[in-house]
Structure 1
Amino acid sequence: MLNHDQAGLPADFFRAWNQGLHPDLYESENRALDREGHVWAALVRLAPWEDRILLDLGCGTGFWLPRYAELAASVIGVEPDPELLAAARSRPGGASVLHGSAEHIPLPDNSVDVVHARFAYFFPSPQNNCSAGLAEVLRVLRPGGSLVVIDNDQNDGEFADLLDAANAAAGQGDGGYIAAWWKERGASTTTVMSSWTFDRPEDLADVLRMEFPDGTGAGWVARNPGRTRLSYGYALHHLSKGEPNRR
């Protein structure tokens, strides 16, 4: 059950500055992600979901739910922002969309096979311990199930350079710290180089200004007029839930 504050929202809820405030622009960003398919191929290899139950944790407006539904036996989206739920529920594919959060997943124990979290919740840092959410994910995963967290590679690619210039690690955790955090919990990390590829330079410029409101994005656009693509490295953190001991 969710622990709500007086406003009717989970006590630990913080609206995302990107999708939460600019859902239409974030839709454009999602359309630009990984058009090469490199990340999708890695996700399928790490934790295949064909004929399985998949949970998209922090599903936002549900952009990825229909694609998951192409292979999964069933798809569940969980999203803490109530203003995004209607859009997620209107997506094709028949996913069930629930109001919840990483720390409060409204599902029974051992009820899903695969959990994906795309740029959601899992930003470990000395100031932000994500263990509560990880424990909740492991609760709902079946033995042998997998969590895959899709995150930014802070070392390689033009987007990593932007993150460094904007000092993003101050708010979301240093890349080395994040990798060590996952390793300590038995996870593996796979890096994949792909891109953001937009149809128009204006779309890339608008998304960069949204993601880097400090001016870092606008500076990149000024130095790279007319660009529709930038290289983007992804870090995929994969953790499997162990099978129970049998005697």
Structure 2
Amino acid sequence: MTSQNTEPLHDFVPAANQGQDPALYELENEAIDPSGVLWRRLRQAADWQDKVLVDLGCGSGFWLPKYADAAEVIGVEPDQRLLGPAQARDPAIQVVHGSAEHVPLPTASVDVIHARFAYFFPSEGFDPVAGLREAERVLRPGGKLVVVDNDHVAGDFAELLAASAPAAAQGRDSYPTRWWASHGAQTVPVMSSWQFQRRSDFEQVLHLEFPQQVAEQWLARHPESLGLSYGYLLHIWQRS
């Protein structure tokens, strides 16, 4: 059941992709990691079977059904518009209104937290330590936070990030990895891909994620492509 506590979070900033076009972001999610390598590495980092897992920033809930072998799955999402769609994925999964800094769960009640492409992008101008401390609070001893971040060096997606001025806010150099290392995390690179069924879907998603000129130039150089190589970084932090 979706949490009824839906007062606005005053420090919440809507996502530029899913917050702008949830239906198109659904197509993006469907194209992620067709070989399953990212998914396998996530399980290796912190197996959630028979454990309590939190999908932090679950969005419209695309990933929630993927955790079917967890003992309990809880989606946490700050965007009030996405709570209903997330809950509709599976009425048996609890979806609550919250954020990285405000997780509405008891202390030491969770085994694994996944966070993807949201909040935990440390940069010279942003320090996500408040969210890390909140993750530390809700995790049980030995529990793990696994953050899925973009690799800004390896893969075609990194090439697009390098050409995109807005991506600078996410930290396009080694700063995020150094930040996580300074807080005791391990960083693991994973090379995967996007793969779309239709060229038109691929084009729309690139325009959603990148400035028009950046997307158009990349597409012009790859006129037959239905996807691209995509490097991820998994930042794995364990509660003592």
Name the residue aligned to 2:22.
23
Name the residue aligned to 1:54.
53
- Choose which of 181, 184, 187 in structure 2 pairs with 1:183: 181
3-state SS in 1 of match to 2:41: helix
Task: Tell me how far apart the structure 2 counterparts of residues 126 and 221 of structure 1 sit (CA, whole Å).
Answer: 31
3-state SS in 2 of match to 1:19: coil
- Residues 43 and 93 of structure 1: is their aligned pair in 2 closer, same or farther, counting only changes over 3 Å? farther
Name the residue aligned to 1:14.
13
1:58-116 superposed Cα distances (whole Å, 9 cap, x missing partner): 00000000001x21001000000000100000002721000001000000100100000
Q: How does 1:218-237 map to 2 (within 5 A)?
A: 218-237=216-235
3-state SS in 2 of match to 1:215: helix
- Aligned partner of 1:205: which letter? E
Q: Contact 1:166–1:214 (CA<8 Å) still a contact in 2?
A: no
Task: Tell me how far apart the structure 2 counterparts of residues 216 and 64 of structure 1 sit (CA, whole Å).
Answer: 28
1:170-203 superposed Cα distances (whole Å, 9 cap, x missing partner): 2112330000000000000000101000001111
- Choose which of 111, 135, 138 in structure 2 pairs with 1:137: 135
Q: Contact 1:65–1:93 (CA<8 Å) still a contact in 2?
A: no
1:135-170 superposed Cα distances (whole Å, 9 cap, x missing partner): 001100000000000010111000000000113442
Number of aligned residue pairs: give it. 236
Name the residue aligned to 1:103.
101
Task: Tell me how far apart the structure 1 counterparts of residues 227 and 100 of structure 2 sit (CA, whole Å).
Answer: 32
Query: What is the CA distance between 1:13 and its match in structure 2?
Result: 0.6
Name the residue aligned to 2:190.
192
Match status 1:238 vs 2:236: yes
3-state SS in 1 of match to 2:230: strand
Q: Contact 2:162–2:172 (CA<8 Å) still a contact in 1?
A: no
Q: Contact 2:161–2:172 (CA<8 Å) still a contact in 1?
A: no
Q: Contact 1:113–1:145 (CA<8 Å) still a contact in 2?
A: yes
Match status 1:75 vs 2:73: yes
Task: Tell me how far apart the structure 1 counterparts of residues 92 and 232 of structure 2 sit (CA, whole Å).
Answer: 28
Task: Tell me how far apart the structure 2 counterparts of residues 93 and 207 of structure 1 sit (CA, whole Å).
Answer: 29
Name the residue aligned to 1:86.
84
Name the residue aligned to 1:45.
44
Normalization by structure 1: what TM-score?
Answer: 0.92
3-state SS in 1 of match to 2:165: coil
Unaligned stretches of 5+ residues in structure 2? none
Query: What is the CA distance between 1:232 and its match in structure 2?
Result: 0.3
Q: Contact 2:49–2:69 (CA<8 Å) still a contact in 1?
A: yes
Task: Tell me how far apart the structure 2 counterparts of residues 122 and 47 of structure 1 sit (CA, whole Å).
Answer: 18
Q: Contact 2:51–2:72 (CA<8 Å) still a contact in 1?
A: yes
Normalization by structure 2: what TM-score?
Answer: 0.95
